[in-house]
Each structure stands twice: as C-alpha cells, then as structure tokens.
Amino acid sequence: MKWTRVSVVAAVVLSVTGTMASGEKPWIPEKGFVPDSATAIRIAVAVWIPLYGEKLIAGEKPYRATLRGDTWTVTGSIPDGFEGGAAIAELSKRDGRILRVIHEQ
C-alpha cells in the first residue's frame, strides 16, 4: 500500500517534469495538483513513510497542513510529554513537487 502512494506521487511529478522537458506547456489544474490540505497530507505521508518508517509517522498524528503562497507545509504532531521533533514536508501547490523533507530532532 505504501509503495502505491509513492508510485502515484512519482507518476504525477514525472508526468509534469517530462512534459516540461519536451518543450510543451504542461497542463496545470486551476487549483494546482495539490488543491487542499487533505491532498497535501496524503502526499507528505506517502513520502515520509519510506524515509522514517510507518510506525514513527503513524505516531505523529494528527498531521497539519498550512498553505502560504504556493507552498503547503505539512507537519506531524508530537504527543504530550514526549521530547523530540516531528516530520515536516514542503510541497508545491501548483505542480506537486516535494520542496523539502526533514525530521526535527
């Protein structure tokens, strides 16, 4: 299941970048490929799981997504009483590119 999510994200990114490389103007949906917070969260989780493990990422629910300009910032949560950091992903609303992925310490 997790590879399916990653495959979908990869297919979208490759489709957009492949079209751009051929010189054609890519089709971009009016609201972008990442139109809402639910979509941003699904993409971020699909990227985080292979990097940090399903158990760690599942433990960071609930996830929050905020939009500033054309960039979604998705963060995990840290349970009360725990020290450490959470996963963070920044995504392009327009074309779905993964701009940055980190996990705070």
Query: For residues 10 and 99, what is the distance between their CA atoms, to the nearest angstrom?
Result: 14
Query: For residues 22 and 2, what is the distance between their CA atoms, to the nearest angstrom?
Result: 30
**Model pTM?**
0.75
Query: For residues 50 and 47, what is the distance between their CA atoms, to the nearest angstrom?
Result: 6
Q: Show Cβ contacts of residue 82 under 8 Å, excluding neighbours closer than 6 positions.
A: none
Nearest to 10 by CA among 32, 43, 36: 43
pLDDT tens for 4-37 read 555 555 555 555 555 556 678 889 999 999 999 9
pLDDT tens for 78-96 read 877 788 899 999 999 999 9
